[in-house]
């Protein structure tokens, strides 16, 4: 592999993702809610951070932007159509734009729902997706600014990606999502098996990500929803779970 992807934990449930291109030794930081754990990690590894990719404006995904930029001189890339400004943003992106990082190219997908300007970054040569707070393992994000129709459309777009695509979500919500999924899809044997595996991982203090598009299509009730109305009912039920 010519890339390395590392999770840097932040706050209680966040993951800040570092995508490192081994060919150029350049690194992108995805959604840094905090700066200190990122700077500590890259100092130990000797990695050069040249970019930050923000998926949306929420502070737990952007709070480290300015400090990391001050320390590394990196460019901050984020969505064009957010309701709040992205701190220290340099380059605004939208649907269909492409971003280069060393030997890598990422495609921008506009996926409004969690927030109105939310984007995802897809690296097709490596089948890697950074989806922020839109898709979670066995779940989906809260719909703060958009609609159930937009969330459903976003998940349908993800479902059309190659099944082997690795999905890097913004939070460690997998165990809670899995237990909710069992309440609405109790006879799903693939789901039963996965929840047992996740419970074991969490009992050992281990990360449950990345997931894959294939695994989500088999076990995620929100990915399996047939229409926006069904997704809205699931989202409402999850919110009170």
Catalytic choice (31, 118, 171, 176): 171
Catalytic choice (60, 97, 118, 176): 60
**Short-list 82, 133, 75, CA closest to 99:** 75
Catalytic choice (21, 97, 114, 118): 114
Q: What DSSP character marks residue 226?
A: S
The answer to whether 133 is a known catalytic residue is: yes
Catalytic choice (20, 56, 97, 176): 56
User: 35 near 52, Cβ under 8 Å?
Assistant: no
The answer to whether 20 is a known catalytic residue is: no
Beta-carbon contacts of 147 under 8 Å, excluding residues fewer than 6 positions away, are 113, 228
CA atoms within 13 A on the CB side of 229: 0
Catalytic choice (58, 97, 118, 176): 58
User: 223 near 158, Cβ under 8 Å?
Assistant: yes
The answer to whether 179 is a known catalytic residue is: no
**Short-list 61, 43, 42, 65, CA closest to 52:** 65
Interstrand relation of 166-169 and 128-132 (parallel, antiparallel or unpaired): parallel
Catalytic choice (61, 97, 118, 176): 61
The answer to whether 61 is a known catalytic residue is: yes
What phi, psi does 187 have (nearest 5°)? -95, 0
Residues taking part in catalysis: 56, 58, 60-61, 114, 133, 171
């Amino acid at each position: 592999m010519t890339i390395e992807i590392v999770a840097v934990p932040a706050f209680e449930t966040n993951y800040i993702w570092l995508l490192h291109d081994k060919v150029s030794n350049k690194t992108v930081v995805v959604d840094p809610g905090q700066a200190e754990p990122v700077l500590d990690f890259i100092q130990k590894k000797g990695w050069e951070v040249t970019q930050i990719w923000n998926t949306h404006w929420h502070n737990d995904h952007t709070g480290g932007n300015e400090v990391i930029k001050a320390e590394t001189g990196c460019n901050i890339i984020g969505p064009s159509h957010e309701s709040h400004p992205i701190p220290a943003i340099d380059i605004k992106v939208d649907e269909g734009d492409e971003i280069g990082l060393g030997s890598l190219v990422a495609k921008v997908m506009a996926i409004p729902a969690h927030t109105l300007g939310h984007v995802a970054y897809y690296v097709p040569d490596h089948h890697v997706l950074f989806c922020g707070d839109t898709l979670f393992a066995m779940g989906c994000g809260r719909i703060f600014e958009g609609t159930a129709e937009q969330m459903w459309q976003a998940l349908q777009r993800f479902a059309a990606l190659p099944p082997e695509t690795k999905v890097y979500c913004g939070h460690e919500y997998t165990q809670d999502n899995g237990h909710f999924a069992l309440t609405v899809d109790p006879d799903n044997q693939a789901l039963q098996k996965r929840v047992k595996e996740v419970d074991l991982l969490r009992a050992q203090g281990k990360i449950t990500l990345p997931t894959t598009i294939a695994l989500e299509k088999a076990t995620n009730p929100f990915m399996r929803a047939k229409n926006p109305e069904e997704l809205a009912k699931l989202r409402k039920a999850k919110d009170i779970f």
